[in-house]
């Protein structure tokens, strides 16, 4: 399967090798089995949609995560949606439901909380000493502030 966009192409062979190729910049290649999420985000005010691939690499001594975003022109959105559906069906990529907007701002109600190191929200862990110092300073200021 192959999809050509201006200055970009996406190839997926029968073995499931995904190759993202930007003609002027380079390419990224991965197996489609590493794709944990695939979405086509709605058009923005610029008329472009974004095609978003989450590629996770949990095995090995250095796990990793790569997010690939591709701008999709308005006139190619339907074609990209068909390609997205085909990838999902052929390679069992799960469809992630949209997260509803929270009714209230729960972050303010619950206060600042650290994200545990072993969760999917971390891209890099552990945090550097400078980040730890910054977190402690911000937390101290928030705790000392009067509302």
Residue 37 contacts residue 54 (beta carbons within 8 Å): yes
Domain spans of the chain, in order of start: 2-91, 115-144
Q: Which residues pair with 133 in a beta bridge?
A: none
* CATH code of the domain made up of 2-91: 2.30.29
What are 19-65's pLDDT values in tens digits?
Answer: 999 999 999 999 999 998 899 988 888 888 899 999 998 887 888 89
What are 54-71's pLDDT values in tens digits?
Answer: 999 888 788 889 999 999
- 78 versus 99: the higher-pLDDT residue is 78
- 98 versus 68: the higher-pLDDT residue is 68
- 71 versus 135: the higher-pLDDT residue is 71
Residues 81 and 122: their CA atoms lie apart, in Å, by 29
């Amino acid at each position: 399967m192959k999809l050509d966009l201006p200055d970009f192409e996406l190839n997926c062979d029968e073995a499931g090798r995904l190759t993202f190729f930007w003609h002027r910049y380079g390419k990224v290649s991965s197996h489609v089995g590493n794709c944990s999420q695939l979405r086509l985000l709605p058009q923005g005010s610029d008329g472009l949609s974004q095609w978003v691939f989450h590629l996770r690499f949990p095995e090995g001594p250095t796990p990793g995560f790569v997010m690939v975003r591709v701008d999709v022109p308005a006139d190619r959105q339907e074609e990209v949606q068909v390609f997205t559906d085909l990838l999902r069906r052929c390679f069992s990529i799960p469809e992630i439901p949209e997260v509803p907007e929270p009714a209230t701002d729960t972050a303010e109600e619950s206060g600042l909380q650290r994200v545990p190191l072993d969760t999917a929200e971390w891209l890099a862990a552990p945090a550097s000493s400078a980040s730890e110092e910054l977190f402690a300073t911000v937390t101290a200021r928030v705790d000392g502030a009067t509302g």
